[in-house]
Structure 1
Amino acid sequence: MNRIYFDITSEKKTISIVENNRLVEYYEEKNLSQSKIGNIYRARVDRVLPSLNAAFVDIGDEKNAYLSFEEIPNTHMILKTNPIKSGDIVLVQVVKDQMGSKGAKVTMKLTLAGKYIIYSPYKTGIKMSKKLNDNDKQYLREIAEQSFSANDGIIFRTNASNAKKEYILNEYYALKGIYDKILKEVNYLPTPKLIYQASSVIDKILRDYFKPNENFIIVNDKDFYYSIINKLDDDNNLKENIILDLEFSSRLDTLITHDLRQAMSNKVPLKSGGYIVIDELEALTAIDVNTGSLVTGRSYQEIVLKTNIEAAKEIAIQLRLRNIGGIIIVDFIDMISLDDVDILKKTLEEEFKKDKNNPTLVDITKLNLYEIVREKNVISLKNRVISKNCP
């Protein structure tokens, strides 16, 4: 069973997700408050740049946010050369945090995420998580046909598997109600103004990660323990997996300190003797895989395959632990056999299934570089530490 530790002190709350005795994700809520991903703002269009098919909008940040015309719903495009103009008041949602010299990226195609579904009022049709099996998809499709409007845009999440119809419908109506409330209130608020705040990281962890027979939650604070119990309502299967342990902090520090230190280093050693080098840049993240020493002989390709597979598994963990998102380019050690390449691709895809941020292997270039994209949900571990240390 995997474990999710909530370490609560007067100064901060930390969340450590441990799988097979490895720290795979780490969050400090004090730092995460800086992330605005998922927040919805009433914003004012500051500048429109038709040559870039984009606009800059004021959401209250130091730098204006970037809005691509592609992120504007079709309803705004009718009979207009430019879909918006300077001074317009618009609803936007943050999809990428402000970073360095670049402002946040926003969209007008709003979405609201729940435990079982994602509600997309500017889209139509029903979509399913790739991780749902055929039986689940049939069950959920029947619910959608019976209960949802044809104009609704709904994505069923992995958590919808085996979920009661009542729970799914309650969430659907709740999300729809939130959206209706946003539309009603928007005209009465100053601009710019935050009008919807995305779920806290703690709520996201409970919503997306905590499942019976898969995880234990371990908490060292009584008040927080009972607040989690109350959030779960009548789901006794989940409540049985919540443990109050007031003394676990020192044991947890021993368990995760090495992994955290490793996550702050560019170089990550592999058990085989090889290593990977991770360079987080503003535009992308570059990862290089090395054998560590000159390897020759008839077994060279076997050693290369073994090192690449080990590296693929470690890279999947490091992406989660460091919370690296966006474009990732991996330079694995070159392999001659197409069968070996296929094994490596399947290893990556299998490891990526464990990641809630949906990393995807997009392509292998002519230079044998592996192109990967991964969703961003909070600021990366590296940038959290940088911002924490800045005056």
Structure 2
Amino acid sequence: MEHILINCSPRETRVAIVVDSVLQDLFIERACARGLVGNVYLGKVVRVLPGMQSAFVDVGLERTAFLHVADIFEAHGEGDKPKPIENVLHEGQSVMVQVAKDPIGTKGARLTTTISLAGRKLVYLPRDPHIGVSQRIEDEAQREALRAMLTAMRPESEKGGYIIRTSAEEGATEEEFRDDMAYLGRLWEEIRSKAGVSAAPTLLYQDLSLAQRVLRDMVHKETECVVVDGEAEFEALEHFAERFVPVAKGRLELYRGDRPLFETHGIDDEIERALGRRVDLKSGGYLVFDQTEAMTTIDVNTGGYVGKRDFSDTIFKTNLEAAQTIARQLRLRNLGGIIIVDFIDMSREEHREAVLAELRRAVSTDRTRMTVSNFTELGLVAMTRKRTRESLAHVLCEPCPICGGRGEVKTARTVCYDILREILRLSRQYKDAKEFRIQASQSVIDMLLEDESPALELLQASIEKPVLLEVEPSYTQEVWDVILA
């Protein structure tokens, strides 16, 4: 059974999805960095780039947001090819936009003018008359039945369209559809009214909080309970559930225990493990995750697992377990973009097919869209996972101030040689200098006094100037200064 745990604090909300006592999903939202996806703004076009068929739009964020012509609804006429962006937008123009992707790294938010507002069972498209069905509803007969029911219900005066959400697969009723249509219609009118009296840039609509989205989107028949550890948040969620998600109200529980909610379920320990490079497998094997700007690589290793039969069987079982763990770790770490998995080489084709099938099965429950390729000639599996928000590591961590995010620092010997080369360079540039003083960390000074003392003596003889050494306790191993006197 599934349990949803909601941990509330004044500036942060954390949500854990636990299935059969195993953490499967983790979501974190902070008040200072709340996600922007779904927000609707009245923005001002600050620059149009015909060469890129894109525009930069000021919506009031730290960085200007990015709008491509393919995401401009008004640019799409009867043909397949959109109109040139310079014929649709101009600098200084006000435009209603919605955030499709949060700012990531140095990139600004990605925008669209195709507004979509999500309800419990429906997504409303006020500018698009299309009626669609979520791709996750695979039964063709059910898809057609849902589409026909909604089409018959839509008023003739309604110019907008709808997408039927996956949650409707469990048996949506006409009453639920009507409730959603009425709520979303009121919401759109509020947004339009605010846009009519506001000056760009301004926020017209902010998406629901993390806890509210969890109630709206993630509570289903397999959800046994939703446990909340904050009394004020519990009451707010009860009120929200009563209005919009009646099915969730009976599952809400207020946690009153003395120990922290996440601690009692081991969630904090799981978060710590999800921040590490290495993930141990029950079989004795392990995974190594390396996240870079371009992609994430995952290396599978047998470790101490030797198996009871032959070595190929050991490799096969390790890779099978790795496939299941990788799918779970991708969700916990919220890794997106290109992902390369280096499974242990398998000589038998049936083993490779079974591992690939297990990986596809394991990622099929992921709420984020994924694609999984076949094995390449090098034995690698490439995957893509839609990136809509920062990874767990980017939310909770920052680059190490000592190594600058490299994960390693120069050795004391390497730093010594850097310093000696710099003194040689300075001695040629400043011939009137009487002496040079090195300020560095204890480990570097010790290296110069001990192992590298012959090099230091040779340098002093070469430049015919004394070189003094001084320990600077606040300096890390890579930080140093050379002072001329």
- With structure 2 as the length reference, what TM-score do the two structures score? 0.72
Cα shift at 1:31:
5.3
Q: Is the 8 A contact 1:136 1:162 kept in 2?
A: no
**1:282 maps to which residue?**
293
Whole-angstrom CA distance in 2 between matches of 1:264 and 1:12: 18
Aligned CA RMSD, in angstroms, stands at 3.1
1:209 pairs with one of 218, 226, 233? 218
**1:229 maps to which residue?**
238
Change (3 A) 1:172 1:361: farther
- For 1:175, give the aligned amino acid: L
More displaced 10-residue stretch of structure 1: 176-185 or 110-119: 176-185
Q: Is the 8 A contact 1:220 1:248 kept in 2?
A: no
**1:291 maps to which residue?**
302
Give the match's secondary structure for 1:217.
strand
**1:305 maps to which residue?**
316
- For 2:35, give the aligned amino acid: S
- For 1:218, give the aligned amino acid: V
Cα shift at 1:195:
0.9
Once the two structures are superposed, the pairs formed by residues 232-271 of structure 1 within 5 Å of their partners are: 232-233=241-242, 238-247=248-257, 249-250=259-260, 252-254=262-264, 255-271=266-282
Whole-angstrom CA distance in 2 between matches of 1:382 and 1:172: 38
- For 1:130, give the aligned amino acid: R
Cα shift at 1:162:
0.9
Q: Unaligned stretches of 5+ in structure 1?
A: none
Once the two structures are superposed, the pairs formed by residues 23-62 of structure 1 within 5 Å of their partners are: 23-30=23-30, 33-62=33-62
Change (3 A) 1:79 1:246: closer
**1:355 maps to which residue?**
366
The size of the alignment, in residue pairs, is 390
**1:114 maps to which residue?**
119
1:95 pairs with one of 93, 96, 100? 100
- For 2:110, give the aligned amino acid: K
Q: Is the 8 A contact 1:41 1:92 kept in 2?
A: yes
**2:152 maps to which residue?**
146
Cα shift at 1:158:
1.9
Cα shift at 1:76:
5.9
Pair 1:179-2:188 in alignment: yes
Cα shift at 1:75:
4.0
Whole-angstrom CA distance in 2 between matches of 1:370 and 1:122: 40
Q: Is the 8 A contact 1:65 1:106 kept in 2?
A: yes
Once the two structures are superposed, the pairs formed by residues 367-378 of structure 1 within 5 Å of their partners are: 367-378=378-389
**1:335 maps to which residue?**
346
Tell me which of the two structures has the higher relative contact order, counting C-alpha pairs closer than 8 angstroms and 6 or more residues apart: 1
Q: Is the 8 A contact 2:285 2:304 kept in 1?
A: yes
Cα shift at 1:265:
0.4
Give the match's secondary structure for 2:51.
helix
- For 2:256, give the aligned amino acid: L
Change (3 A) 1:145 1:345: farther
Cα shift at 1:382:
1.0
Whole-angstrom CA distance in 2 between matches of 1:273 and 1:307: 8
Whole-angstrom CA distance in 2 between matches of 1:365 and 1:111: 38
Of structures 1 and 2, the larger Rg is shown by 2
Pair 1:159-2:167 in alignment: yes
Cα shift at 1:337:
3.7
Whole-angstrom CA distance in 2 between matches of 1:311 and 1:359: 17
Residues 122-179 of structure 1 show CA distances to partners (whole Å, capped at 9, x for unaligned) of: 5424223324545643441231231236965432222112122211222123224433
- For 2:164, give the aligned amino acid: F
Give the match's secondary structure for 1:67.
strand
Cα shift at 1:268:
0.9
Give the match's secondary structure for 2:242.
coil
**2:109 maps to which residue?**
104
Residues 274-304 of structure 1 show CA distances to partners (whole Å, capped at 9, x for unaligned) of: 2212222223322222223697997333322
Cα shift at 1:384:
1.2
- For 1:185, give the aligned amino acid: K
Q: Is the 8 A contact 2:123 2:164 kept in 1?
A: yes
Whole-angstrom CA distance in 1 between matches of 2:290 and 2:388: 20
Cα shift at 1:256:
1.5
- For 1:84, give the aligned amino acid: L
- For 1:108, give the aligned amino acid: T
Cα shift at 1:33:
4.2
Whole-angstrom CA distance in 1 between matches of 2:213 and 2:394: 21
Q: Is the 8 A contact 1:212 1:241 kept in 2?
A: no
- With structure 1 as the length reference, what TM-score do the two structures score? 0.87
Whole-angstrom CA distance in 2 between matches of 1:122 and 1:196: 16
More displaced 10-residue stretch of structure 1: 151-160 or 274-283: 151-160
Whole-angstrom CA distance in 2 between matches of 1:388 and 1:31: 22
**2:421 maps to which residue?**
none
Give the match's secondary structure for 1:36.
coil
Cα shift at 1:364:
4.9
Give the match's secondary structure for 1:63.
coil
Whole-angstrom CA distance in 2 between matches of 1:17 and 1:248: 21
**2:134 maps to which residue?**
128
- For 2:109, give the aligned amino acid: A
Whole-angstrom CA distance in 1 between matches of 2:399 and 2:340: 27
Give the match's secondary structure for 1:109.
coil
Cα shift at 1:253:
0.8
Cα shift at 1:67:
1.6
Whole-angstrom CA distance in 2 between matches of 1:236 and 1:35: 26
More displaced 10-residue stretch of structure 1: 309-318 or 71-80: 71-80
More displaced 10-residue stretch of structure 1: 266-275 or 69-78: 69-78
Q: Is the 8 A contact 2:212 2:237 kept in 1?
A: no
- For 1:244, give the aligned amino acid: L
More displaced 10-residue stretch of structure 1: 361-370 or 14-23: 361-370
Give the match's secondary structure for 2:262.
helix
1:316 pairs with one of 321, 324, 327? 327
